[in-house]
Amino acid sequence: MFSETARAKVNLTLHVGRLVSDRSSRYFGYHPLSSLVVFADYGDELNCETSAQTSLSVSGPFANGLETDRSNLVLRAYDAVAAHAQLPALKFHLVKNLPLASGIGGGSADAAAALRLLKNYALLNDEKWQEIAVSLGADVPVCLHSQTCVMSGIGEKLDFQPGKGQLPALLINPNFKVSTKTVFKAFDSTDPPEHPAPQPAANDLLDWARQGRNDLEALVSNPELTGFEDDLDFVSQKQLLRMSGSGATFVVVYKTPEEAAAAQTELLSLWQNTRPHWWVQPVMLGDEP
């Protein structure tokens, strides 16, 4: 049996450009973007072993409602690789620890974890793995590597940023799903610039994130979020609050892992009656030294 962690993807910055309407462009129908991406030391768990037939089963706190047929990105990854290499039948099991439709790459990270597992069974060159990753979704290439980088193009261009360190943080999700399509439609109505704003490169992850922004953050609204930031200020001194991707997971950066863990305890206590369904997970973001 082989296993992989599908680490949560966090956009510390997300700068977005106008929808590409030129049908001759390779990016037609997509939004160009530029994003400083880091990965958490927490995520879904995926394993596989040879079996009589290929299948997927799921368990975990967010397994409910997750499809296990060929529409699931794990099995789509298997089929994509099988189109280029002979694979044995594999039985996959996914422990779903990350909220669904939450802007932290859950499905893409699962697909990328599946590709890493399939490298144990298929000998393909790096270019072919990259091609397959891109075909599965814009976030799959960055999740395949799960390293701090600047992601650009539509997600296929990766500029790795080694040695940037780590940030202690909380990932907070209000447990309502956000439609990426709806958020981008709202973004298109704002008359955005043709190209995403350049990244404000810095040696420190926190400084870099503070100088950037998430262009989609202001477009995600829900009554569930009322008073949310006030609660954060009440329990502790945060270094940064930023939505990841198209939402609705927020990353809250703290000075130390101890501060993040203490903030989790205080928030869960504060929200036990008002926000009992919210997900609050302490993590370390970035590459280990």
Q: Are 94 and 74 in contact (CB under 8 A)?
A: yes
Is residue 44 annotated as a catalytic residue, yes or no? no
The domain segmentation of the chain, as residue ranges, is 2-160, 166-286
Nearest-5° Cα angle at 191, 188 to 196: 80
Q: Choosing from 9, 96, 164, 238, which is the catalytic residue?
A: 9
pTM of this structure: 0.94
2-160 and 166-286 share one fold: no
CATH entry, 166-286, from 3.30.70.890, 3.30.70.20, 3.40.190.10, 3.40.50.720: 3.30.70.890
Q: Choosing from 139, 164, 238, 287, which is the catalytic residue?
A: 139
DSSP state string for 18-37 = -----TTSTTTTS--EEEEE
Rounded CA gap, 197 and 57, in Å?
Answer: 41
Architecture of domain 2-160: 2-Layer Sandwich (3.30)
Question: Along the 289 residues of the chain, how does pLDDT read in single tens digits?
Answer: 999 999 999 999 999 999 999 999 888 888 999 999 999 999 999 999 999 999 999 999 999 989 999 999 999 999 999 999 999 999 999 999 999 888 898 899 999 999 999 999 999 999 999 999 999 998 999 999 999 999 999 888 999 999 999 999 999 999 888 888 899 999 999 999 999 999 887 889 999 999 999 999 999 888 888 999 999 998 888 999 999 998 889 999 999 999 999 999 999 999 999 999 999 999 999 999 8
Is residue 9 annotated as a catalytic residue, yes or no? yes
How far lies 35's CA from each of 102, 147, 218, 238, in Å?
17, 13, 17, 22
